[in-house]
């Protein structure tokens, strides 16, 4: 039985960086780029949850594959959106529909 839930912020930036094999500065950059939003304590320290770890692990894997931050933002945003929500697929469909209408003129 886990001691804490998957959304409970318990890992400091140093611990999370070691778990992922990156520097704390990399985590700060990803936060600045809005790829992750860690919980903040009253003292303004970052705390990460288990779910944050899995998201960051995915970001690390994409980075190793050569995907840039803009691409990661699109991939992570698409992956984390619930089915049926407005996203990349809908935008693509909207543009395709516009092309079809313009093509019939």
Per-domain boundaries in the chain? 11-103
| pLDDT tier for residue 47 given thresholds of 50, 70 and 90 | very high
Q: Which fold has domain 11-103?
A: Multidrug-efflux Transporter Regulator; Chain: A; Domain 2 (1.10.1660)
- Give yes or no for a contact between 60 and 21, defined as CB atoms under 8 angstroms apart: yes
Q: What are phi and psi of 67, to 5 degrees?
A: -75, 130
Q: Is the pLDDT of residue 39 over 60?
A: yes
| pLDDT tier for residue 78 given thresholds of 50, 70 and 90 | low
Give the predicted TM-score (pTM) of the model: 0.69
- CB count within 10 Å of CB 74 equals 13
């Amino acid at each position: 039985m886990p001691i804490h839930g998957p959304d409970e912020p318990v890992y400091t930036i140093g611990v999370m960086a070691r778990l992922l094999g990156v520097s704390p500065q990399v985590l700060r950059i990803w936060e600045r780029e809005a790829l992750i939003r860690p919980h903040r304590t009253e003292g303004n320290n970052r705390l990460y949850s288990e779910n944050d770890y899995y998201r960051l692990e995915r970001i690390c894997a994409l980075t190793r594959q050569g995907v840039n931050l803009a691409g990661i933002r699109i991939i992570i945003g698409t992956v984390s959106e619930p089915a049926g929500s407005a996203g990349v697929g809908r935008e693509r469909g909207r543009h395709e529909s516009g092309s079809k209408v313009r093509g019939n003129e």
